[in-house]
Structure 1
Amino acid sequence: MASWLPLLLLLGALAVSNVLEAAQVRSSCPNGWFFYKANCYGYFRYPLSWSEAEYDCQAYGHGAHLASILDSAEADIIASHIAAYQTNQPVWIGLHDPEQNGRWKWNDGSMYNYRSWLPGQPDNSNSAEYCGEMSCRERFLKWNDSNCKAAKQYVCKFKP
């Protein structure tokens, strides 16, 4: 038993170190932002156009952009956070079609592998929808393309 004691102490120290490190990362998110899987997220309820919202996110520094959503678990966390504040207004995310050619991209450079469009979307209605929003029709779990000039609430994301 005594030979196991140093190993147990080492494992305990590592566990405490990991907990403290995670707490430090969480505390490096700005006040009012939330932490999930090594990222900080800020939800802003004052409506801006897509480009104004992206500019506002970048103004926070740390490489912040409108949020990229890379899997369903991340989508669930963000959607739940938004739904705690409101359930009837769409919310900008960092998805856009910058060349207006149907090739959607995340503005932070993340890979566009996960997709969660509403049925029939993106449809580029009126040839004017090149920015992505989280739709309130599906509890913010599905996306819709929308006119980039429309003022909407938005979610920012950065890695601390």
Structure 2
Amino acid sequence: MSYNNFWIGLYTTDNPVQLNTTWQWTDNTAVNYIPWYNVIPSLDKKLCAISGYNYNGFSNADCTASYLAVCKQPPLETIPTSNPVSTTTFKPINPCDISMQTFSNYFIPQVKMNWTTAEEYCELCGGYLTSFHSTDELNTIVNYLNAGNYWTGLYSDNNERTWKWKDGTTYDFSYWYPGNPNQAGASCANLKIIDYNPYGMANTPNCSTSLYGICKYRQTEIMT
């Protein structure tokens, strides 16, 4: 049982969770505030929400997991009121309105996500997880980034034997970090950058790992 996270009464019946999923409170009060930890919930089959000490915001989790619970006790006396019950409709934040690092033909949402969510995020905001097709293009990206790991659109659907770009472009250029690709590794690849060391693609983090994603605008939606 985790003592860092706590069940709250927020849940959904939409399975799996989507960007436009409707959330409800178990006490039937209006849903007018959802401070998701990563701006959006995890887009998967985690239908119940938790809050915790180790991050600032809510996250969705498997409803069968074990956590402590935060309970809200109703008042001992109910004071009659003529005020109508709140009917506020909650409008989720538009993910594309959050802070983005933009450069050249690329944008990086300033929230960390797993690979699947990062791709959906890129598509929602007019792009795809990036591909690159030359050393010059790769260097353009690397020159704007700090050391770390960043999701790209490179993936494999045959146990890491061959690789494809999520945007459908031809896999005609590769620049792997030493020791990669690892056939026992993940089926999605990230750009790995380490200070004073070579950079390149790697498939060591699991696809469910939360990383920043590098998005490339579709050619018709390039920001100027």
TM-score (norm 1): 0.67
Q: Which protein has greater RCO, CA pairs closer than 8 Å, 6+ apart?
A: 1
- Higher Cα Rg: structure 1 or 2? 2
Pair 1:50-2:121 in alignment? no
Secondary structure of residue in 2 paired with 1:143: strand
- In the other structure, the counterpart of 1:60 is 125
Distance 1:56 1:140 in 2: 29
1:116 maps to 175
Distance 1:101 1:118, change over 3 A: closer
What is the match of residue 85 of structure 2?
Answer: none
* Higher share in helix: 1
> Among residues 93, 103, 108, which one is paired with 1:34 in the alignment?
103
Root-mean-square deviation (Å): 2.0
| CA distance, structure 2, for counterparts of residue 32 and residue 92 of structure 1 | 15
Tell me the residue number matched to 1:73: 136
Alignment of 1:4-153 (within 5 A): 32-35=101-104, 40-61=105-126, 64-82=127-145, 86-87=146-147, 89-124=148-183, 127-137=184-194, 141-145=199-203, 146-153=205-212
Secondary structure of the structure 2 residue equivalent to 1:47: coil
Q: Is the 8 A contact 1:57 1:65 kept in 2?
A: yes
Contact 2:177 2:198 survives alignment (8 Å): no
Q: 1: CA distance between counterparts of 2:101 and 2:180? A: 32
1:119–1:81 Cα change, 3 Å? same
Corresponding residue SS for 1:53: helix
- Unmatched 5+ stretches in structure 1: 1-30
| Deviation of 1:33 (Å) | 2.3
CA contact 1:66–1:156 (8 Å) conserved in 2:
yes
Checking the alignment, whether the CA contact within 8 Å between 1:79 and 1:140 is kept in structure 2 is no
Identity of aligned residues (%): 25
User: For 2:112, what is the secondary structure of its paired residue?
Assistant: strand
In structure 1, what is the Cα distance between the partners aligned to 2:182 and 2:142? Answer: 23
Whole-Å separation in 2 of the counterparts to 1:81 and 1:65 = 18
- Between 1:52-61 and 1:92-101, the stretch displaced more is 92-101
In 1, Cα distance between equivalents of 2:167 and 2:124: 14
Give the 3-state SS of the residue equivalent to 1:102 in structure 2.
coil
* Separation of aligned partners in 1, 2:160 and 2:107: 30
Between Structure 1 and Structure 2, how many residues are aligned? 118
